[in-house]
């Protein structure tokens, strides 16, 4: 029997580029250019690209040494065991959900840009009902995921590269390019704005790691995975740099069209209305492709974690007709819909990169740990300048995570708060699994009764006019009713273990009675 041939270097590079070339460039340049760094985003792109390259060196070593299913989740699990692996898997999963929500929101923005040329009335209606449309888009893609439709993959990537090349050439040869824009206000917010922009545009690069998913089917993975990772990480830097250069040269930082995507606006300036239409369609295709990929990725991570017993087993359920993990797809789609309704682009960007950066930091630490604990492991590629490279990779990942908060960007602070909240959920769910359900249920019962009693007491005092309301926007009578529910539910949660034992006891008694009846019957 002929052995199936694996995918070669070209396909691996295309897989890396398909992860990196996506909808991000249509949405991220905008905020970074008009609000953070002005023309300084060129420098931000170089810094971001170099940091990504540094992190990819760690991926090269681990990807070549462990060409297995699960990518970074597997590397971290091998280095640190189940607990850290579980946390990494959760963050990766959540990052996919946030990225998918961002893609859905960006799709609606691109649709609105398309209709700005065709019919401004329809554009206004789209912007007015953006959240309904984003739910519809996610639902449609969710159904596609369940039906197991094939992705366009390399065709889309090559089409995008050609389109972007056309944009760059057109930008330079058209009369609209004005080099003065590049020096008009290099860093309007100083170094702070430059670093903030670097963090903000960084998600444009992180998709290159997507190719580790192809590691299992790669030909000579020990050679081709590192080459593919490095090539795609290197190719993406000049491509994005040239695109940003043309966009900045075409659109001045003081331009009034700040609400429109920078790339679409620049395309409109260079090619006229056709440019706007073509780039809006391209943006929509990129968003749909990214949304589909994120849905598949989240579904595959959920399946892997369910297989390892961290997530409920039901997520592994396979559709009888389409052979896909339909429960994981439905759960993921539901969560993406909820997130996309928020519609807050900067928040979703920070939240998506928050999860990815934590995973990056853990991958770099895993490399250091594995070098120590498994020195004889077969490593077809060794990260140069060890341990400096993974240490720098770790430091930059953490720095990119923290810097926006240090600069006081409200969106980053919101994303951090959400990230910490999600981390708390992740850790709680791990301990829920480890400590056992009933212990957690009893603890929650105690919290419910305590909170209910405090709310009831304060609401009662407020009704009597003896205390200020803690929640002035909720009536004290409603708070009193709610506290009753909390106390009652808390009582039942507190007695969960006793109820279970009683039920077991009843079953045992019943079994004993039946056995006695049977014995009596035979004795007679």
Partner 1 sequence: MITGKITLRLLFGAAQVILALLVIAVALDLKFNIFDFQTMFNISQDALNYYVVLLLAFGIIFLIGGLFLVYDWWESR
Cα dist from 292 to 22, 61, 180, 224, whole Å: 12, 29, 40, 26
Residue 275 burial (CB < 10 Å; 0-12/13-18/19+)?
A: buried
CB of 115 to partner 1, least distance (A): 25
Percent composition of the chain: helix, strand, coil (DSSP 3-state, to 5): 80, 0, 20
CB of 524 to partner 1, least distance (A): 32
Query: Closer to partner 1 at the Cβ: 340 or 364?
Result: 340
State how far the Cα of 188 lies from the Cα of 198, in Å rounded to an integer. 14
Query: Closer to partner 1 at the Cβ: 190 or 410?
Result: 410
Token readout for 194 is 């430059």
CB of 292 to partner 1, least distance (A): 27
**Residue in 489, 491, 462, 492 with CA at minimum distance from that of residue 478:** 462
Q: Report CA Rg, the chain.
A: 27
Query: Closer to partner 1 at the Cβ: 151 or 512?
Result: 512
CB of 437 to partner 1, least distance (A): 7
Query: Closer to partner 1 at the Cβ: 84 or 447?
Result: 447
CB of 138 to partner 1, least distance (A): 18
* Beta bridge partner(s), residue 7: 218
Query: Closer to partner 1 at the Cβ: 76 or 335?
Result: 335
CB of 331 to partner 1, least distance (A): 14
Query: Closer to partner 1 at the Cβ: 84 or 489?
Result: 489
Cα dist from 365 to 58, 59, 100, 424, 475, whole Å: 9, 11, 27, 22, 51
Spatial neighbors of 132 by CB under 8 A, at least 6 apart, are none
SS (H, E, C) 32-46: HHHHHHHHHHHHHHH
3-state secondary structure of 83: helix
Query: Closer to partner 1 at the Cβ: 290 or 442?
Result: 442
Spatial neighbors of 356 by CB under 8 A, at least 6 apart, are 91, 92, 95, 203, 206
Spatial neighbors of 278 by CB under 8 A, at least 6 apart, are 163, 267, 271
CB of 309 to partner 1, least distance (A): 18
CB of 515 to partner 1, least distance (A): 21
Binding site for partner 1 (CB under 8 A): 342, 344, 414, 417, 421, 425, 428, 437, 441, 444-445, 447-448, 451, 471-474, 482, 485-486, 488-490, 492-493, 496, 499, 502-503, 506
Query: Closer to partner 1 at the Cβ: 417 or 434?
Result: 417
What crossing angle do the helices spanning 388-406 and 41-65 adopt, rounded to 10°? Answer: 140
Query: Closer to partner 1 at the Cβ: 241 or 489?
Result: 489
CB of 24 to partner 1, least distance (A): 23
């Amino acid at each position: 029997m002929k052995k199936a041939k694996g995918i070669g270097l070209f396909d691996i590079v295309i897989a890396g580029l398909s992860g990196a070339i996506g909808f991000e460039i249509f949405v991220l340049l905008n905020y970074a250019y008009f609000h953070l760094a002005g023309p300084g985003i060129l420098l931000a792109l170089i810094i971001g690209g170099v940091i990504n390259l540094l992190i990819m060196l760690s991926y090269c070593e681990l990807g070549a040494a462990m060409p297995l299913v699960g990518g970074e989740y597997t590397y971290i699990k091998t280095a640190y065991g189940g607990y850290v692996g579980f946390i990494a898997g959760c963050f990766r999963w959540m990052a996919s959900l946030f990225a998918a929500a961002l893609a859905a929101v960006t799709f609606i923005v691109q649709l609105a840009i398309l209709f700005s040329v065709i019919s401004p009335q329809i554009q206004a209606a789209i912007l007015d009902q953006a959240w309904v449309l984003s739910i519809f888009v996610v639902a449609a893609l969710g159904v596609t995921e369940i039906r197991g439709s094939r992705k366009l993959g390399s065709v889309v990537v090559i089409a995008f590269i050609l389109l972007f090349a056309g944009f760059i050439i057109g930008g330079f040869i058209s009369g609209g390019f004005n080099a003065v824009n590049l020096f008009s206000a290099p860093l309007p917010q100083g170094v702070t704005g430059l670093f903030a922009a670097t963090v903000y545009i960084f998600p444009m690069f992180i998709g290159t790691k997507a190719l580790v998913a192809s590691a299992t089917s790669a030909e000579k993975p020990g050679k081709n995975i590192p080459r593919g990772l490095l090539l795609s990480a290197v190719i993406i830097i000049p491509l994005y740099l040239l695109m940003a250069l043309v966009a900045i040269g075409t659109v001045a930082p003081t331009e009034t069209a700040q609400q429109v995507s920078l790339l679409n606006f620049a395309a409109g300036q260079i090619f006229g209305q056709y440019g706007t239409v073509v780039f809006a369609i391209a943006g929509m295709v990129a968003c749909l492709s990214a949304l589909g990929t994120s849905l598949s990725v989240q579904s595959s991570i959920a399946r892997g974690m369910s297989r390892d017993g961290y997530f409920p087993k039901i997520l592994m359920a396979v559709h009888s007709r389409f052979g896909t993990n339909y429960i994981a797809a439905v759960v993921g789609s539901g969560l993406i819909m909820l997130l996309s309704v928020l519609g807050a682009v900067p928040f979703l960007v920070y939240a998506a990169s928050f999860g990815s950066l934590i995973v990056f930091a853990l991958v770099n630490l895993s490399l250091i740990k594995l070098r120590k604990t498994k020195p004889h492991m077969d490593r077809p590629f060794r990260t140069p300048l060890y341990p400096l490279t993974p240490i720098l990779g770790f430091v930059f990942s953490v720095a990119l995570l923290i810097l926006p908060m240090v600069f006081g960007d409200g969106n980053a602070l919101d994303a951090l708060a959400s990230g910490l909240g999600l981390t708390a959920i992740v850790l709680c769910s791990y301990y829920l699994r480890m400590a056992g359900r009933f212990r957690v249920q009893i603890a929650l019962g105690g919290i419910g009764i305590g909170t209910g009693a405090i709310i009831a007491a304060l609401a009662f005092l407020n009704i009597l006019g003896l205390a200020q309301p803690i929640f002035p926007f909720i009536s004290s009578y409603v708070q009193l009713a709610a506290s009753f529910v909390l106390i009652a539910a808390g009582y039942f949660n507190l007695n969960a273990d006793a109820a279970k034992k009683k039920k077991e006891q009843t079953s045992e008694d019943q079994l004993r009675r039946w056995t006695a009846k049977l014995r009596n019957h035979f004795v007679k």
